[in-house]
Amino acid sequence: MSLTVKAYAKINLWLDITGRRANGYHTLNTVMRRIALYDDVTVGTNGSGDVTVSCDVQGIPADERNIAFKAAKMFFMQMRKNMGAHIHIVKRIPVEAGLGGSSADGAAVLCALNELCGKPFGLHELCGIGATLGADIPFCITGGTAKCTGIGDIIEPLECAEFAALIVKPDAACNTGEAYRKYDGSPIPVKPGFEEYCASIAGSRMALANGLYNVFEELYGNDDIAQIKSELLGAGALGAGMTGSGSAVFGIFNDIREAENAAQLLDVKTKFAVRAI
């Protein structure tokens, strides 16, 4: 049996680090929104006891370094069954971009296996399994718009004004682990106003766009990111910011037509006009 699941990317409308636990995990204040950019993840179960991974893009790990691989292994361990699976990923979400691509793939594997195996786990249990693999996975399972705290595993759904986004991925990539190590070496004070921002985005697209915040932008002080933000604003974006630990930057637009028109104005290779969903 096999099942294909869409693994949706996310953007961070707000991302801040509030602390670090003894186990090394960082605690966060973040608001995430699912966007209509996705990988296709096909999962098939078998009786081999092994997990295998393939991808249509070269350079994607096909072993225990891949979160999709880890997700399948963890799922079967929690089920206490010696099952196997093959996972094939059709990759559209850029890697090392802050768009949550690997987390989305891991979440898709958990959801697909849960369906294929007769739904042994409820949503809360599935998110708990995901949280052991990556901070973004619980949100990638639930989707929508959410305020996420703790290590990303405490999820509170939020009402959010509708918008479209233009995602721009520069050539440079950002490794998440390196980004957090850089933060640990030069921590930045927690930005006030998180709760107020969460409350403001329900009824005001402008409040959403004007309040975008990402602690890693401050940490990097990167001229290329600043330039892309400037170009997005010049193309009509209501606001612009970096997502995750980078390097992708996004602009907020009223609707998909505005985002698509703006895309024509930007002379960059990797860009996606998408709806927030």
Q: Which positions are annotated as active-site residues?
A: 10, 136
Of 72, 77, 80, nearest to 116 by C-alpha is 72
Torsion of CA 238, 247, 10, 234, to 10 degrees: 10
Of 104, 105, 143, 103, nearest to 123 by C-alpha is 143
Task: List the end-to-end C-alpha distance of the chain, in Å, as a whole number.
Answer: 29
Phi first, then psi: give them for residue 9, nearest 5 degrees: -75, 170
Q: Which two tokens mark 109? A: 């594997």
Q: Residue 168: which H helix or E strand, with range?
A: strand 164-168
